Amino acid sequence: MRRTTPAILTLIAALLMTAAAVAGVVPGDEAPAFTLTDTAGKEHSLKAYLDEGNIVVLEWFNPDCPFIRKHHENNKTMDETFASLEGKGVVWLAINSGAEGKQGAGRERNAKAFKEFEMTFPVLLDADGAVGRLYGAKTTPHMFIVTADGVVAYNGAIDDDRSAGKLGETNHVAVALGQLLAGAKVETPETQPYGCSVKYGK
């Protein structure tokens, strides 16, 4: 009988850990903590925002993805949704998990997009993809809502039209946030995200 060497066991353990990280979170899971820096050099801590009693919306971002342009350039889906929640204890963070050299990655490109899109919330850089993999972010955009208790309440698409041009009739994030702010349960906690693939490195 062939023996399993320690090296093979280590490799199997690493693969299992990687698979778990890529699998990400589902509604009801505790949201993984993170601290990332935005394009202006400011640090943002999920824990700090939650400790202040905020609901946090996470949007996976790539300024050169046509699906991001649909919601930031051709339309103002993200910023208008965020603006409608002003003063209600909601923080919105865009996260770019693209690796160096990949489409839409890098501080300079994202700082430029932040200005061009006239964004009202920061773009955080996750160049090694660690945070994206923890959450299981697959597309740009891929949306997550984290309650003030640190629990994932929504995971999925921004709306219900998967094209790169037309807006959907239902803004899933706006609906979910409205339900949370009313003290209700999110009726549709998970949908299928759509968009460009997140440009992770190896």
pLDDT tens for 110-151 read: 999 999 999 999 999 999 999 999 999 999 999 999 999 999
Q: What is the pLDDT of residues 53-98, one digit of tens each?
A: 999 999 999 999 999 999 999 999 999 999 999 999 999 999 999 9
pLDDT at 111: 98
Establish if 182 belongs to a structural domain: yes
Q: pLDDT grade, residue 16 (50/70/90)?
A: very low
Mean pLDDT of 183-189: 97
pLDDT at 26: 98
| Greatest CA separation for the chain | 66
* Strand arrangement of the beta sheet that strand 43-45 belongs to: 43-45, 35-38, 123-125, 90-96, 55-60, 143-146, 152-156
Establish if 169 belongs to a structural domain: yes
pLDDT at 1: 44
Q: Give the total number of structural domains in the chain.
A: 1
Establish if 30 belongs to a structural domain: yes
Contact predicate 125/40, CB 8 Å: no
Establish if 111 belongs to a structural domain: yes
Residue 102, C-beta contacts closer than 8 angstroms, at least 6 positions apart:
199, 200, 201
Q: Kindly state the percentage of the chain with pLDDT values over 70.
A: 89
Contact predicate 92/82, CB 8 Å: yes
DSSP for 116-166, written as a single string:
HTT-SS-EEE-TT-HHHHHHT--EES-EEEE-TTSBEEEEE-SBS--SSSP
Question: Is residue 11 pLDDT above 60, yes or no?
Answer: no
User: 141: cis peptide before it, omega within 30°?
Assistant: yes
pLDDT at 17: 40
Mean pLDDT of 6-12: 49
* pTM for this prediction: 0.89
Tokens of 168: 């959907």
Establish if 41 belongs to a structural domain: yes
- Structural domain range at position 56: 6-197
Establish if 1 belongs to a structural domain: no
Residue 87, C-beta contacts closer than 8 angstroms, at least 6 positions apart:
none
Establish if 202 belongs to a structural domain: no
H or E stretch at 95: strand 90-96
Establish if 114 belongs to a structural domain: yes
CATH of the domain at 168: 3.40.30.10
Structure-token match 């850990």, residue found: 17
Question: How many whole angstroms from its chain centre is CA 34?
Answer: 12
Question: Is residue 22 pLDDT above 60, yes or no?
Answer: no
